[in-house]
C-alpha cells in the first residue's frame, strides 16, 4: 500500500507460480507451457503489472534508447525523432531524448548520464565531441552517430550525402545561368571533424570546380544574423554574386533580409538557396529553394541500425541518405 507498485512477486503469488516463471513469460523466454503462459498473462492483466525498468537494468536490458540532441533548436530534429519513434513504435523499446547542449563538455556529461542510466543504446545527433570521446562512449554502449561524416569502426553512422546536396544546388544554379555563386558556411569552432557544414562547403567547392567556376566561400555562422552579415558583405562587393547558397536555411533567411534591405529583388537580382528544407521554407511568404534531407528516413535508419547493433551485429555500418533539391521561388535565372 505504501509503494503501490505491483511487482513480479505479486504476479507470481496471484498465478500460483514462481517469480522465475513469471520472468520467463514476461521476457518471452524458452521453457514455458501454454498453460503457464495463459495463467501468468491473466494475472499480469488483472494486476496491471509493468516491469520495473531500473530493476531490470541491474541484470539485463532496460529497453530504453537514448537520443542525444546537440541542438534542440535545429528545425529538422523533430523529423528525426519521429523517424526514430515511428520505427520503434511497435517494439518494446522506449526512446528518451537528452538535451546535450552545444559544448563538448555538456554533451559528454549527457552521454555519461545516459550510460549511468543503463540505456541499451544511444543515437547521437551531430555530436561535437572528439573522436576519442566518441570512441569511449561507443565502447560502453552501442552507438549510432547521425550527421557526422567519417564514422569509425566502433559505431554505426547515418549521414546525409552533403557533398551531393551541395552539388544539387550548384548544378541547379549553374543550369539557370549563374556563374558568380557564393557560399555561406559556418565558422569551425570545435575540433570535431566531418561536421555537415564542412562537408557541404567542400561539396560546393567540388561542384564549382567541376563546372569550371571559381568558388567563393564566406564563413559566418548558421544563424539568421550570420546569414545577414555574410550576405551584406557579399552584396557590397563590386562584382557581387548573382546567387548565394547558404549552408543552412536559417542562414538563408538572413540572406533574404539582407537582400530586402539592399533593395534587391529575389530571384531577379539575387537567387538564394538554403539547406535543410525547414518547415517555413515552404511557406508562400518565404518560398525558399532548399535541399531536403528527409529526417524521417534518417531517424528510422538510425533506429534500425541501433537495434541491430544491440541485438548482436558487430560489423560497423555507415548508411548514407540521398538528399533532394526542392526548387521554390527564391531561385531563378540571373538578370542579364
Partner DNA sequence: CTAACAATGGAGAACGTTCTACACAATCCT
Partner DNA sequence: AGGATTGTGTAGAACGTTCTCCATTGTTAG
Site residues (CB under 7 A) for DNA? 3, 5, 7-9, 17-21, 23-24, 26-27, 29, 31-33, 35-36, 49-52, 55-56, 58-60
Which of 159, 286, 300, 325 touches its own copies (CB under 8 A)? Answer: 286
Beta carbon of residue 122, minimum distance to DNA (angstroms, whole number): 19
Beta carbon of residue 94, minimum distance to its own copies (angstroms, whole number): 4
Please report, as residue ranges, which positions from 235 to 254 form the binding site for its own copies (by CB under 8 A). Answer: 253
In the bound state with its own copies, the residue whose beta carbon lies nearer, of 32 and 97, is 97
Which of 29, 96, 190, 236 touches its own copies (CB under 8 A)? Answer: 96
In the bound state with its own copies, the residue whose beta carbon lies nearer, of 118 and 130, is 118
In the bound state with its own copies, the residue whose beta carbon lies nearer, of 228 and 275, is 228
Binder of residue 95, out of DNA, its own copies, none (CB less than 5 to 8 A by kind): its own copies
Residue 186: beta bridge partners? 220
The answer to whether residue 13 forms part of the interface with its own copies (CB under 8 A) is: no
Beta carbon of residue 158, minimum distance to its own copies (angstroms, whole number): 19
Q: Are 25 and 37 in contact (CB under 8 A)?
A: yes
Candidate segments 74-82, 122-130, 147-155, 175-183, binder of its own copies by CB under 8 A: 74-82
CA dihedral 78, 83, 84, 87 (to 10 degrees): 150
DSSP, residue by residue, 242-268: SEEEESSHHHHHHHHHHHHHTT--TTT
The answer to whether residue 325 forms part of the interface with its own copies (CB under 8 A) is: no
3-state secondary structure of 336: coil
The answer to whether residue 58 forms part of the interface with its own copies (CB under 8 A) is: yes
Angle (nearest 5°) at CA 293 between 290 and 296:
135
Q: Are 268 and 262 in contact (CB under 8 A)?
A: no
Rounded CA-CA distance 165/204 in Å is: 9
DSSP, residue by residue, 140-162: HS-EEEES-SS--TTSEEEEE-H
Please report, as residue ranges, which positions from 171 to 200 form the binding site for its own copies (by CB under 8 A). Answer: none
Count residues near its own copies (CB under 8 A).
Answer: 46
In the bound state with DNA, the residue whose beta carbon lies nearer, of 47 and 264, is 47
DSSP, residue by residue, 41-73: HHHHHHHT----HHHHHHHS---EEEEEES-TT
Binder of residue 315, out of DNA, its own copies, none (CB less than 5 to 8 A by kind): none
Rounded CA-CA distance 29/5 in Å is: 24
User: Residue 267, preceding bond cis, omega within 30 degrees?
Assistant: yes
Q: Which helix (H) or strand (E) holds 96?
A: strand 94-99
Beta carbon of residue 99, minimum distance to DNA (angstroms, whole number): 24
Contacts with its own copies by CB under 8 A lie at 4, 50-55, 57-58, 62, 64, 66, 72-73, 77-78, 81-82, 85, 94-99, 101, 110, 112-113, 116-118, 139-140, 224, 253, 256-257, 260-261, 279-280, 283-286
Amino acid at each position: 500500500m505504501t509503494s503501490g507498485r505491483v511487482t513480479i512477486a505479486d504476479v507470481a503469488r496471484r498465478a500460483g507460480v514462481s517469480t522465475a516463471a513469471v520472468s520467463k513469460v514476461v521476457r518471452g523466454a524458452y521453457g514455458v507451457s501454454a498453460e503457464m503462459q495463459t495463467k501468468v498473462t491473466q494475472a499480469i492483466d488483472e494486476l496491471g503489472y509493468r516491469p520495473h525498468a531500473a530493476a531490470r537494468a541491474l541484470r539485463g536490458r532496460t529497453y530504453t534508447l537514448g537520443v542525444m540532441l546537440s541542438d534542440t533548436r535545429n528545425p529538422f530534429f523533430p523529423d528525426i525523432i519521429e523517424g526514430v519513434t515511428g520505427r520503434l513504435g511497435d517494439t518494446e523499446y522506449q526512446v528518451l531524448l537528452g538535451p546535450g547542449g552545444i559544448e563538448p563538455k555538456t554533451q559528454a556529461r549527457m552521454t555519461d548520464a545516459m550510460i549511468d542510466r543503463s540505456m541499451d543504446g544511444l543515437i547521437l545527433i551531430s555530436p561535437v565531441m572528439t573522436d576519442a570521446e566518441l570512441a569511449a562512449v561507443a565502447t560502453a554502449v552501442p552507438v549510432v552517430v547521425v550527421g557526422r561524416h567519417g564514422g569509425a569502426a566502433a559505431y554505426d553512422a547515418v549521414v546525409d550525402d552533403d557533398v551531393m546536396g551541395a552539388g544539387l544546388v550548384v548544378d541547379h544554379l549553374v543550369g539557370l545561368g549563374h556563374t558568380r555563386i557564393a557560399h555561406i558556411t559556418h565558422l569551425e569552432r570545435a575540433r570535431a571533424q566531418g561536421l555537415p557544414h564542412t562537408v557541404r562547403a567542400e561539396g560546393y567547392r567540388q561542384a564549382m570546380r567541376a563546372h569550371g567556376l571559381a568558388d567563393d566561400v564566406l564563413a559566418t555562422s548558421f544563424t539568421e544574423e550570420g546569414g545577414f552579415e555574410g550576405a551584406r558583405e557579399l552584396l557590397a562587393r563590386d562584382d557581387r554574386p548573382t546567387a548565394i547558397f547558404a549552408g543552412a536555411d536559417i542562414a538563408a533567411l538572413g540572406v533574404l533580409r539582407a537582400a530586402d534591405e539592399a533593395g534587391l529583388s529575389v530571384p531577379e537580382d539575387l537567387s538564394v538557396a538554403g539547406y535543410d528544407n525547414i518547415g517555413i521554407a515552404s511557406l508562400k511568404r518565404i518560398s525558399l529553394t532548399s535541399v531536403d534531407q528527409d529526417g524521417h528516413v534518417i531517424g528510422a535508419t538510425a533506429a534500425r541500425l541501433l537495434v541491430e547493433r544491440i541485438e548482436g551485429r558487430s560489423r560497423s555500418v555507415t548508411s548514407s541518405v540521398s538528399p533532394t533539391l526542392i526548387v521554390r521561388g527564391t531561385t531563378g535565372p540571373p538578370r542579364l
